[in-house]
Structure 1
């Protein structure tokens, strides 16, 4: 079925959406970068062991250049995103980062991969971005800090770059070892910064299960599904479908954490869902050469 790759990417976005809720079970006051480091090392490390045991990796002939840029993109995404949230608030930082990612992905894909996204993708992306704006700005946080906006835009570029570089990597390597190598390397890149920010919380037993869940479900499985789907669809469509992450996070907040969404936020949920459905149902027309 041609819709399967789109469904795989959407499933990855749903798993990403659980990370925020899972993170609430960690000890309070932990900096996001060490969490990202542990999540990457656990998720990438487990898959790396599996890939080595299955003899899926040849270190001598591996595509190191593409892997490094994919890992660097993900390593940059975390601090850029959380810095934007710190400077300009959760609502604006999230909307600008997540909303700009599909646009940057389409531009990078067009400029470097010579693949022009369709009108259907543009329509669905606009729909989904409007949904993001309605969902997050309904919370009343509208602080505009130029440096925070810049960090959010750079975070959007980082995720879009990761997606497009991974698309190239998948032309040379299989999805499982690609995720394994990329996120293990990402964790190694973040390690020095994490040691500076503090990692003593890792020794607390109550933090182990949330870390394992974020590493396995939110990283290993999620990015494996993402790359499996990305192999068959355009980068721009994949990043638009990743907007299922804030949708999932919002719904989990309502049904598990007990948060309340305003009418405006529910309209945003509807717009987000509509954009995702358009991309998925029109998947076979997602790219015009």
Structure 2
């Protein structure tokens, strides 16, 4: 089921901030983000190459499809992926793992729905609207409940998290557009993240990479690249085949749920009554998207739509 695959991907995403928290203090957001894409992007590209070698080639998106050429879409998606990494880690570093993740992923469905509406001229649908409104309410409760319930988080971290949410929306929509044009989902993720890995090389070299010399640094880098990138985006890409980009983006709010629980049980962050309510509301929003609602027009039109 496509929705389940996206939720599993979101659980993998949800471990990102926690993985960074175990890295040495010298692992800056820019450095960790670049390393994550280098490791994960190259691994995804290697998977695509291996599949092409064994199958004699994989389906690709048509460069002459309606709208922007495939090469342009890949470049836009790759730049968005590169931009997401340091801004996301900036959010988790300055606002806390739970709040940074919640704001980034909580804003992503709104950004994705708006961009999808602009690009495809198709309203995401009533089900998505209800689910996103519920999820936004849950995210607001979560965001205000952490840090002792005061909601006093760093403005720089919030700005970074919002930028990450917008970047996520761009590359999720680009991936869906490529898949809609006939591209294999794994090929799509491999090309997008492989291209992003190339773009990340100068960024990585411009940062302090000394943290990779420590055992905990290597463990963090491996987890970020393999689990939160390669495995997660193979799952996300396959789920995206049967979902609209806006729906998939809302389902990935399972990520802040995962991050919140990890923040509480592993990092000692506080989860109060309001946050518990927020978790429940987000869970209900996800169920609204997962449960089949009979013959509602917005559900019938969803499958295969960009």
Displacement of 1:205: 3.5
* 167-176 or 275-284: bigger deviation: 275-284
Q: Contact 1:237–1:286 (CA<8 Å) still a contact in 2?
A: no
> Does residue 268 of structure 1 match 2:275?
no
In 1, the alpha carbon distance for the partners of 2:59 and 2:244 equals: 27
Aligned equivalent of 2:4, options 7, 13, 17: 7
Aligned equivalent of 1:278, options 278, 284, 288: 288
In 2, the alpha carbon distance for the partners of 1:283 and 1:34 equals: 44
Cα distance change, pair 11–100 in 1 and its aligned pair in 2 (3 A):
same
Aligned equivalent of 1:80, options 84, 87, 91: 87
Displacement of 1:86: 6.7
Q: RMSD across aligned C-alpha pairs, in angstroms?
A: 2.7
* 2:26 alignment partner, SS class: coil
Cα distance change, pair 196–144 in 1 and its aligned pair in 2 (3 A):
closer
Counterpart of 1:230 in structure 2 is: 240
In 1, the alpha carbon distance for the partners of 2:159 and 2:210 equals: 32
Counterpart of 1:122 in structure 2 is: 129
Cα distance change, pair 248–92 in 1 and its aligned pair in 2 (3 A):
closer
Superposed CA offset, 1:107-146 (max 9, x none): 111111232211111111111111111112112233585x
Displacement of 1:149: 5.8
Aligned equivalent of 1:251, options 255, 258, 261: 261
Q: Give 1:70-219 correspondences, 5 Å limit.
A: 70-83=77-90, 89-90=95-96, 94-139=101-146, 140-142=150-152, 145=155, 151-170=160-179, 171-219=181-229
* 45-54 or 236-245: bigger deviation: 45-54
Displacement of 1:261: 1.0
Displacement of 1:85: 6.1
Displacement of 1:27: 1.4
Cα distance change, pair 210–254 in 1 and its aligned pair in 2 (3 A):
same
Counterpart of 1:41 in structure 2 is: 38
TM-score (norm 2): 0.82
TM-score (norm 1): 0.87
* 199-208 or 167-176: bigger deviation: 199-208
Alignment length (residue pairs): 283
> Does residue 30 of structure 1 match 2:27?
yes
Superposed CA offset, 1:180-214 (max 9, x none): 22122212223223222211222333322222122
- Structure 1 unaligned blocks of 5 or more: none
- Structure 2 unaligned blocks of 5 or more: 64-69
Cα distance change, pair 149–218 in 1 and its aligned pair in 2 (3 A):
closer
Displacement of 1:50: 2.6
Q: Contact 1:234–1:286 (CA<8 Å) still a contact in 2?
A: no
Q: Which runs of 4+ in 1 moved over 6 A?
A: none
Displacement of 1:217: 1.2
In 2, the alpha carbon distance for the partners of 1:53 and 1:144 equals: 44
* 2:206 alignment partner, SS class: helix
